[in-house]
Structure 1
Amino acid sequence: MTTPPTGDGPRPHLAPARALHLPDGTAAGDGYRCRIDPRSAGWEFSSLRILDLPPAGRRRLETGDSEWIVLPLAGSLSVSCDGGRCELTGRDDVFSAVSDFAYLPRDTEAELRSPAGGRFALVGARCENRLPFRYGPASGVPVEVRGAGRASRQVNNFAAAGVFETDRLIAVEVLTPAGNWSSYPPHKHDEDRPGEESKLEEIYWFSVGDGAYGGPGGGYHRVAPSHPDGARETVAHVGTGDAVLVPDGWHGPSIAPPEQHLYYLNVMAGPGVERAWLICDDPAHAWVRGAWAGEAPDPRLPFSTAPSRPKDTR
């Protein structure tokens, strides 16, 4: 096993900054349980909305200058847009299945309907190009088990770069077994360094527990400055419905409590010409990846896999 370095070194000056941790309900607005947009976050691109619909509930969405993906967290949904319509089968909860989703272009209107009700995420990014309305099947979502041992986690790469075409938006789901660490080692993506690091704003939205709407309890998430004028250091006790903004800086670990699994939805976008997720590990923790070589992934993973593609019967 690689030996970890000792000592943390000098700590940078922490500049005043806005709050990064948004507890459940504090970012509610316009009928959404959580509404984060570039203006409220104080940045340029990334957005997130969490929508709870009752049985027979419906919602109209004007996409404006942003592209959006509609992702069921619990429940099913019908999405109508640009004269087309798709039915999202969804799932019971985020740990039980990988979900299908719908892509909405900028400069249009969409209608969302849920016969049985549920909870739905709308992840968005300001963009320039108008791509077509599309259905994203669950069978096309690559499921990755990342890390090893107690740093094992599952990543559902539904809108990762190179997986599903968008203009700027990158979004994935991360499922961390009880007691494990994810977003580890701490890393950053706040500089544009071609081939090495991409500049991306990021939102984490959390759910704790394995039910449809999470449960009591909570995990932890850390953001730390990577330069003197960067984001304020934040160690957040996160529960279901909480969000954490990452405008810049080192972020991670995300720590699941011993008794409950931890889920988070990552939403990212940035100014780069290339749509890419390129990260730089915190040098103080870079030894961690070497320690995984002799460890197996957590046997509890994956929680679920993408369904097989239906056979072509033509």
Structure 2
Amino acid sequence: MSLLVKSHQQGQEVVRLADNTLEYVGFSAHRLSLGESLPLAAGDKELCVVILTGRASLSGEAPVQGAFTWDNLGERQSVFEDKSPWAVYLPTGSQARLEALSDMQVAVCAAPGAPVGELNARLITPQSMKRSSRGKGANTRYVCDILPDTEVAHSLLVVEVRTPSGHSSSYPPHKHDRDALPEESFLEETYYHQVNPPQGFVFQRVYTDDRRVDQTMAVENNDLVVVPEGYHPVSVPYGYENYYLNVMAGPKRVWQFYNDPQHAWLLDL
């Protein structure tokens, strides 16, 4: 199976992870013009709807909770701005519609949900998101925790990362594909990439210790990388910067990773 999902240059759907590719994680990204709308039906999943760029309103209904409406969400014109996004959490059984108030981009992150009625839909504001930097030197990158394991959800973990020109990310290589807490948790993952300027590319490798999985991909703007297991570092060529939106989910909602022992010495630099 190819772990690289290529994006569409035209149409509302930018990229989508095909159904049943992963057991826990679902993902799609969309571009909407002013006045267009996007229906959202959670079904047996929970959703995190991330306003990547532009402005939108979202209204709908959730079991027990009833109707909800949030207007005028979003303020970024680019994911490379030093700003957190707006997002909405939609629980199992909820239905909603996103209305574009400008040209915009939106991501829909999905994972198995809690029993119907157990959790409510809620707005996730930029002010509630923790922002931090990781690494040092050419391994520095900038992180925004949209839906971390410290916030309420059943399965979903959502985070975005900006990596500067010439830097590495998700590095030293780490993995989270064993249900072996407290050392490591099992979480599937997707990487939705954007590149600035958009004609650029980045490299991502996904590999296991035994090299049963070993794919190195040239990833272009709006492409999706699937990480069912294994280590998954990213390298950004000089002259371009990289953004990615990570979606993770697994049997336990805990992010505990394990560094590749061949490269763990880099942590001592």
The corresponding residue for 2:214 is 233
CA separation in 1, counterparts of 2:23 and 2:205?
Answer: 22
Could you tell me how far 1:240 is from its partner in structure 2?
0.7
Q: TM-score, normalised by structure 1?
A: 0.79
What whole-Å deviation, never above 9, does each CA across 1:30-62 have from its counterpart, x for those lacking one?
Answer: x522121551x1x21101110111111111111
The corresponding residue for 1:124 is 110
- Give 2:159's aligned amino acid: V
User: Which of 199, 210, 229 is matched with 1:248 structurally?
Assistant: 229
Could you say which structure has the larger radius of gyration? 1
Equivalent runs, 1:47-66 vs 2, <5 Å: 47-66=26-45
Equivalent runs, 1:77-88 vs 2, <5 Å: 77-82=56-61, 83-87=67-71, 88=73
- Residues 1:278 and 2:256 aligned together: yes
Q: Is the 8 A contact 1:69 1:104 kept in 2?
A: yes
Could you tell me how far 1:70 is from its partner in structure 2?
1.0
CA separation in 2, counterparts of 1:285 and 1:38?
Answer: 34
The corresponding residue for 2:139 is 151
CA separation in 1, counterparts of 2:91 and 2:246?
Answer: 20
Per the alignment, in what secondary structure is the counterpart of residue 64 of structure 1?
coil
Could you tell me how far 1:90 is from its partner in structure 2?
3.5
The corresponding residue for 1:11 is none
Q: Is the 8 A contact 1:81 1:133 kept in 2?
A: no
The corresponding residue for 2:155 is 168
Cα RMSD, aligned residues only? 1.7
Q: Is the 8 A contact 1:223 1:233 kept in 2?
A: yes
CA separation in 2, counterparts of 1:278 and 1:259?
Answer: 32
User: Which of 66, 79, 103 is matched with 1:94 structurally?
Assistant: 79
- Residues 1:19 and 2:2 aligned together: yes
User: Which of 96, 112, 115 is matched with 1:110 structurally?
Assistant: 96
CA separation in 1, counterparts of 2:255 and 2:268?
Answer: 21
CA separation in 2, counterparts of 1:38 and 1:143?
Answer: 32
Q: State how many pairs are aligned.
A: 260
CA separation in 1, counterparts of 2:14 and 2:7?
Answer: 8
**Structure 2 residues without counterparts, runs of 5 or longer:** 62-66
**Structure 1 residues without counterparts, runs of 5 or longer:** 1-17, 292-314
Answer 1 or 2: which has greater strand percent: 2
Give the % identical residues: 32
CA separation in 2, counterparts of 1:170 and 1:204?
Answer: 12
Could you tell me how far 1:124 is from its partner in structure 2?
1.1
- Residues 1:259 and 2:247 aligned together: no
CA separation in 1, counterparts of 2:190 and 2:210?
Answer: 20
CA separation in 1, counterparts of 2:200 and 2:16?
Answer: 23
Per the alignment, in what secondary structure is the counterpart of residue 155 of structure 2?
coil
